[in-house]
Structure 1
Amino acid sequence: MSRKWVINASPTIALAKISQIGLLSKLCSEIVIPQGVVQEIECGPENDPARIWLAEGGSAWIREVSQIDPEIANYNLGLGESEVMAWAYHHAGFEAILDDRAAKNAARMLGIPVRGTIGIILLAKQEGRVSQVKPLLYQLVQQGLRVSPSVLEAALKLVNESG
């Protein structure tokens, strides 16, 4: 396994809330969490599972991003999204893990490989790390991940769990 991921706040928060944050280290060989993402997560409540995870084992993956290129800054995204994209832009082989639609579109325009939280869950099923996707996707929605019903249905069809 040689996947390398640079992860934004939303996927980190969402996976931690449904007790699946461990999938990150099971599905990829190298994880980076930019300092700007950490700042966003630390603005959350003290009992937030992602904040707790960062204070414990997740801190090993925190990295500084020295600059955000003008071509990334021009998209006017949040600090976390911009740092995730900057890292992936400058470090070949990294995939940006983002949920924000504007950030995903910007990443694609810049040639940065991108995947979201749902993509991580689908990959986990594909690799036998989770037995069912449907309950996890519904937990994500209950925890506030905004996903259209058509995207949910398409994801479930991909793993033969629709209906």
Structure 2
Amino acid sequence: MIVFSNTTPLIALNGIGQLDLLPRLFTEIHLVGEVIEECAVGGIIRVPDLRALPWVKVVESTPVQYPTVLLELDKGEKHTLDMARKLNADWVIIDEKIGRNMAEYLGLKVTGTLGVLLKAKQQNWIPSFRDAAAAMVRQGIRYNHGLVDKLARQVGE
């Protein structure tokens, strides 16, 4: 299974100590160099050296095939979606609304950080979906409260 991730899900999951959910759910995560660079820049939430993680497959991006369609996206999103399309990815993990819309426009299947948490809760790998989502919000990651409530109800919270 080919799964690509953008920057925000990596930062959000690492911020709550749940980055290891990704290989548990998907075995291997493909990351373009631009996403690794964005994570390495740092910020409030630090991300480990992604190249050193055994479950990360680094994909060197090529020139973007649809530059005008992807113009509104940042560098990491643009190259993630482009390479996901070129490699016929099964999933793209991306949170930003415009990026999700573009991924769907390009025919890619999309999930986000909340989707990762939902699957993890369904597997009983985390004690509470709602608590994990709230912890990400406390770290400065923003999510639609209505969506969090809707997903929490799906797992009985």
Q: Same fold (TM over 0.5)?
A: yes
Over 3 Å counting, the alpha-carbon distance change for 1:86 and 1:27 in structure 2 is same
- Correspondent of 1:11 among 6, 9, 12: 9
Q: Which moved more, 1:15-24 or 1:54-63?
A: 54-63
Where do residues 133-152 of structure 1 align in structure 2 (5 Å cutoff)? 133-152=129-148
Match of 1:129 in 2: 125
Asked if residue 65 in structure 1 is aligned to residue 61 in structure 2, the reply is yes
Q: Which sections of structure 1, spanning at least 5 residues, go unmatched?
A: none
Higher helix share: 1
**CA RMSD of the aligned region, Å?**
2.0
Alpha-carbon shift at residue 55 of structure 1 (Å): 5.7
Over 3 Å counting, the alpha-carbon distance change for 1:138 and 1:32 in structure 2 is same
Alpha-carbon shift at residue 66 of structure 1 (Å): 1.3
What one-letter code is carried by the residue in structure 2 that aligns with 1:12? L
CA contact (8 A) 2:91 2:108 kept: yes
Q: Which sections of structure 2, spanning at least 5 residues, go unmatched?
A: none
Where do residues 30-41 of structure 1 align in structure 2 (5 Å cutoff)? 30-41=28-39
Where do residues 37-52 of structure 1 align in structure 2 (5 Å cutoff)? 37-45=35-43, 48-50=45-47, 52=48
What SS is found at the alignment partner of 1:21? coil
Q: TM-score normalised to the size of structure 1?
A: 0.87
- Paired with 2:104 and 2:136, the residues of 1 have a C-alpha distance of 24
Q: Which moved more, 1:57-66 or 1:17-26?
A: 57-66
- Correspondent of 2:96 among 94, 97, 100: 100
- Paired with 2:150 and 2:63, the residues of 1 have a C-alpha distance of 37
What one-letter code is carried by the residue in structure 2 that aligns with 1:80? G
Render the CA deviation track for 1:61-108: whole Å, top value 9, x for unaligned: 222111211266544201110111012101124311101100001111
- Paired with 2:60 and 2:112, the residues of 1 have a C-alpha distance of 22
Number of matched residues? 157
Alpha-carbon shift at residue 4 of structure 1 (Å): 2.9
* Runs of 4 or more consecutive aligned structure 1 residues displaced over 4 Å after TM superposition: none
